[in-house]
Homo-oligomer: A and B are copies of this chain.
Amino acid sequence: MKESQVDVLVIGAGPAGLMCSFGLARADVKVRVVDERPKKVAAGQADGIQPRTIEVFQVLTTAINSTNDGVYFALQSYGLADRLLREGNQMHMAAFYNPKSDGSGIELTDRVPDVTAPTARYPFEVTLHQGAIEAIFLDSMKEMGVEVNRPIRPTTIQISEDKNYHDGHPVRVVLKLLEGTGNDEEDSEVVYAKYVVGADGAHSWVRKSFDIAMEGEQTDYVWGVIDMIPDTDFPDIRNKTAVHSNNGSCMIIPREGDKVRVYTQLEGKAAIDARSGRLDKSKLGPNELLDVARKSFYPYTFKAPQSFDWWTIYIIGQRVASSYSVQERVFIAGDACHTHSPKAGQGMNASMNDSYNLVWKLAHVLRGWASPELLKTYEFERRKYAQDLITFDKGFAKLFSGKPRTELNQDGVSHEEFIRAFQTFGGFTSGIGVHYEGSVIVNAKHQNIAAHLVTGERVPPQYLLRAADSRPFEIQDLLPSDTRFKILVFTGNTSEPSQLAKLQTLAEELQAPDSFLTKFSPGGKPETLFDIISISSAKKESVVYNALPQLFRSHWSKAFLDDTPFTGQLGGKVYSTYGIGAAGAMVVVRPDGYVGTIAPLNGVTDLTDYFASFLTSSSA
């Protein structure tokens, strides 16, 4: 059989697998991705991208530029987010319909923002069918020379105890080409990988191969989904709309172009085969699902569409894998780790964000920058998140599937109860509120000096001015996912000589032999692993940007101000919003944009301690 080696083998090219292989390719890691489907998804499936995921798309493709152009070109490339926003529909509004008091059908009860996460940079969801989202990744990967090998199915996977097995590639996977010659040996191949990521879906072969259990249960809620271009008089057809009627619940998700997705609640029995107890798609078709929806939407009407784009029926299962990794050599991500209802709007988002969390850690360990211990934080951070998601989903799905409260049904779900849940969990469903607990990479020791820049959470958007030219920038655009730690130096007011003197001292301490900047500097080049950005509270009219010590303006584009532009109302609120005082602060931002730790300007040793807990000084 053929044999080959690779740093990371990704099994499965759905959202989790594509995010993983895209991120690794972008980090220049040797990656191979295989999928058993002959083609990418053509229609239907998951279709909602949450605000935090749009932020991730943005920072993932903020171009990395190692020349002295600094961030200049970095902000300007077309990227994943550009294309997502170009092709996708935006949901800004959520509408709620409930039974009229006279029982004659439904009426509009309320309209509220679709996203309730005040710090979201993109305060909306984007909807676009899964195939189009996969295409965004596939096309970008192709530019980097990485393509999905398909249709390929893995047949065996083993981890060697010997770290040096096959030159440090301890995971042995046999792959089989489907639709090949038909000769098993010719169609098979042995791949030796340093790491394997199983992103192979809810029925994950990788997960089953290692007997990882799914913990949780299946619910009784049965739902149908139809995708179509509707012909209707319903006035909220372009908003995310939740309908609680006396004839069941429905949800509208407007999509790209004129398409709309309709979720309809089904009476369990109608779609379940009496003998097997399993879902039977032959019992119901899209026309029957539309008929069910029509009853909920009365008095509004839906004409029969020319065709249905896609449809399905599903039972909600709410489960989390008991483990996310095998010896930190094989990982699982996405649906392989967690299943939940589409109502939480998390489908692709949780999956892609699993991979996003894993990618930079794999890159650091593969490059010898970090100890393998770093990889343990993947399960620690993402399994906790999945458990929280299931807890949320259980409550929300119950409210959603419940009968509306009416005069006759005082035990039903009231609009107030439903919208409270909708808004309370807005931070969670948007992905903005994700909080990683303390670990080697999350240390809240000095949280108090930047009280509102929460350690373990992503850096919230803020506008800055670039000191040299007063051009406004969004801080997230200064934090690209380029596998580097960003050291944000909030310098205080550098127009004051005393503060400038403190910065001079800080620059010397940072460049001393025992500082992390020196000790963990790959090949003696700190900028390979650390990107230093300064943010002064001086004002644009009087700032002399080149009075700063050189370390804090390695290029003119690296020094920023907490000030407003001449035009526009944005900016000038970074220190106050983050809770940083006049004394300043240093903030370590992880490569994935989450706050790692915080220290005062005289706290270089704290930062060195932080990095020493997971970085390796071998390369110095």
Stretch at the interface among A3-11, A190-198, A564-572: A564-572
**Chain B: CB-nearest residue to A67:** B257
Docked Cα-Cα span, A69 to B254, in Å, equals: 13
Docked Cα-Cα span, A135 to B546, in Å, equals: 34
Whether A545 pairs with B235 at a CB distance below 8 angstroms is yes
CB distance from A260 to the nearest CB of B (A): 11
User: Which residues between 64 and 87 of chain A lie within 8 Å of chain B, taking CB atoms?
Assistant: 68-69, 72-73, 76-78, 82, 85-87
In-complex Cβ contact of A541 among B111, B257, B258, B544 (8 A): B111
Whether A93 pairs with B568 at a CB distance below 8 angstroms is no
In-complex Cβ contact of A235 among B118, B235, B546 (8 A): B546
Q: Is the interface of A mostly helix, strand, loop or mixed?
A: loop
Chain B residues closer than 8 Å to A68, beta-carbon distance:
258
Given A92-B565, A123-B566, A566-B93, answer yes or no on A540-B111 (Cβ-Cβ < 8 Å): yes
Whether A471 pairs with B92 at a CB distance below 8 angstroms is yes
In-complex Cβ contact of A566 among B69, B113, B235, B541 (8 A): B113
Whether A469 pairs with B254 at a CB distance below 8 angstroms is yes
Whether B90 pairs with A469 at a CB distance below 8 angstroms is yes
Docked Cα-Cα span, A471 to B125, in Å, equals: 11
In-complex Cβ contact of A567 among B77, B123, B238 (8 A): B123
Whether A237 pairs with B468 at a CB distance below 8 angstroms is yes
User: Is A575 in contact with chain B by the CB < 8 A criterion?
Assistant: no
CB distance from A239 to the nearest CB of B (A): 6
- Could you say which of A237, A471, A569 has the most chain B C-beta atoms within 10 Å of its C-beta? A471
CB distance from A183 to the nearest CB of B (A): 46
User: Is A288 in contact with chain B by the CB < 8 A criterion?
Assistant: no
User: Is A324 in contact with chain B by the CB < 8 A criterion?
Assistant: no
Whether A78 pairs with B86 at a CB distance below 8 angstroms is yes
**Chain B: CB-nearest residue to A122:** B567
User: Is A556 in contact with chain B by the CB < 8 A criterion?
Assistant: yes
Docked Cα-Cα span, A233 to B124, in Å, equals: 45
CB distance from A69 to the nearest CB of B (A): 5
User: Which residues between 99 and 142 of chain A lie within 8 Å of chain B, taking CB atoms?
Assistant: 111-113, 115, 118, 120, 123-124
Whether B540 pairs with A124 at a CB distance below 8 angstroms is no
Docked Cα-Cα span, A91 to B468, in Å, equals: 11
User: Is A499 in contact with chain B by the CB < 8 A criterion?
Assistant: no
Docked Cα-Cα span, A566 to B92, in Å, equals: 8
**Chain B: CB-nearest residue to A555:** B258
User: Is A470 in contact with chain B by the CB < 8 A criterion?
Assistant: yes
Whether B566 pairs with A469 at a CB distance below 8 angstroms is no
Whether B111 pairs with A235 at a CB distance below 8 angstroms is no
Chain B residues closer than 8 Å to A257, beta-carbon distance:
69, 72-73
**Chain B: CB-nearest residue to A72:** B257
Given A470-B93, A565-B92, answer yes or no on A233-B546 (Cβ-Cβ < 8 Å): yes
Chain B residues closer than 8 Å to A112, beta-carbon distance:
566
Instruction: Give A residues with C-beta under 8 Å from B.
Output: 68-69, 72-73, 76-78, 82, 85-87, 89-93, 111-113, 115, 118, 120, 123-124, 233, 235, 237-239, 254, 257-258, 468-472, 540-541, 544-547, 556, 565-569
**Which are the 5 A-B pairs with shortest beta-carbon distances?**
A113-B566, A76-B86, A238-B469, A238-B468, A93-B470
